[in-house]
Amino acid sequence: MDSDSAWRLLLLVILIIMSAFFSAVETAFLSLNRIRLRGMVKEKVKGAENVWKLLESPDKLRNAIIVADNSVNIAATVIAVQLALRHIGKGWSAAAIIGMILIILIFGELFPNLIAEINPEKFSFKVSGLIEILIRILNPIITVLMAISNLIIRIFGWKTTEKTPHITEEELRTLVDVGHLEGVIDPEEKRMIHNVFEFADSQVKDIMIPRTDIAAIDVKSGYDEIWDRFRKERYSRMPVYENSIDNIVGVLHVKDLFFYNNSKDAFDIRQIIRKPYFTYENKRIVDLFEEMRKKRLQMIIVVDEYGGTAGIVTMQDMVEEIFGDIGDEHDDIIDEIQQISPTEYIIDGLTRLNDLNEELGTSLESEHYETIGGFITGIIGRFPKKGEVVVYNNLRWLILDVYRTRVKRLKLSILDSSSDGQSNHQDTDSK
């Protein structure tokens, strides 16, 4: 073999190595986990920031790799054909092309792709500097090639659409879950982000304090009576009604009562109550939140389709939907769900089915009830009694306490999962 052929053979080997390199780069960058990479940037891992900047311009990165990879593959094929013609003969040129295609596929594509997938972050960080230089060198050529491509598209009348970034809520939720598994997002952050999604999808009726639990003041109440009510309930404001809770005439703030300096005998609550604001049950929480923020409202009265009072919503209720229970120094610290043994829990009757499912991994669903107390009432088909037992699927519910028609507390026992899935109830001796 003469020196010219030797140089051509050496150049052919170099081109195949370059093809393998560009293929590995493409695979490595495509395999990167964006959330994990973002975490590495924050931790200032060497090379992570350079890779992040390259991924911010994906078109430039992709075009540079395509041009470089195809160029070396074409050059390698041409040299292989020249060597075949010189040393084997014209009849073997087709065989040389086929052989070169196989070599490029195996050593220039498949093999380097497998290597790059082993540790894409490490590989990307090491080569990011070289790729940045490559993009700068090829940018003029790519600009010309893109201009020619766009011209051809216009000549043939093909239409191109603007790329608009679009990601669904489900994809965002998945990204958050992946980020949590990767250790980039901690459990509390994950919970809050998912709460934001739930917040956007929820309606007022999902978070309101129901009518039966409203602490309200009769418009006929005297000064001292109202003070006693505030001390008992420990609220900063309460709705005021006339004749019936369905007729809310105002909202009383405790500070307005505190600064009242006229005669107690001549006290008239109408003089100090504030104008009530109303909303409907099916209004989106997001819309109500914005309305309350603009008007600086802290309490909204929720009415049903017949105009009666369905419940109330406070700004604190909405904030807690995202951040969890806030409470204050006066709140009694009582968890809605208290675990007393590995398979037993004490549960507040107002605990929402969604919260219960999320906390315990159950799958309770109802079209008519939102709380576990209402759910159990629906199963029984009448107002529940203290000491009553309800078995639903593999869950055994013992009603510990009731208030009028409402279930206040229950004891949940998780039975063997081999339960037949039916529901039944019975009375126990509560004496």
The tokens describing 341, both together, are 């043994």
Residue 1 has pLDDT above 70, yes or no: no
Residue 92 has pLDDT above 70, yes or no: no
Return the amino acid letter for 280. Answer: Y
How confident is the model at residue 249, as a pLDDT?
Answer: 95
Q: What is the CA radius of gyration of the chain?
A: 35
Q: What is the arithmetic mean of pLDDT over 76-89?
A: 77
Q: Which range, of 24-28, 189-193, 229-233, 339-343, averages the lowest pLDDT?
A: 189-193
429 — pLDDT class (breaks 50, 70, 90) = very low
Residue 171 has pLDDT above 90, yes or no: no
- Other CB atoms within a 10 A radius of the CB of residue 209 amount to 17
Whose CA is closest to 194, among 176, 214, 207, 211? 176
Alpha helices for 326-386 (secondary structure H): 353-360, 372-380
Q: Which range, of 7-21, 100-114, 257-271, 326-340, averages the lowest pLDDT?
A: 326-340
How confident is the model at residue 326, as a pLDDT?
Answer: 57
How confident is the model at residue 299, as a pLDDT?
Answer: 93
Residue 364 has pLDDT above 60, yes or no: yes
216 — pLDDT class (breaks 50, 70, 90) = very high
Cα–Cα distance, 289 to 315 (Å, whole number): 7
Whose CA is closest to 401, among 334, 322, 307? 334
How confident is the model at residue 325, as a pLDDT?
Answer: 60
The tokens describing 397, both together, are 């519910």
76 — pLDDT class (breaks 50, 70, 90) = confident
The pLDDT mean for the chain works out to 82
* 329 against 335, higher pLDDT: 335
How confident is the model at residue 9, as a pLDDT?
Answer: 84
How confident is the model at residue 309, as a pLDDT?
Answer: 92
pTM of the model: 0.47
Q: What is the arithmetic mean of pLDDT over 349-362?
A: 86
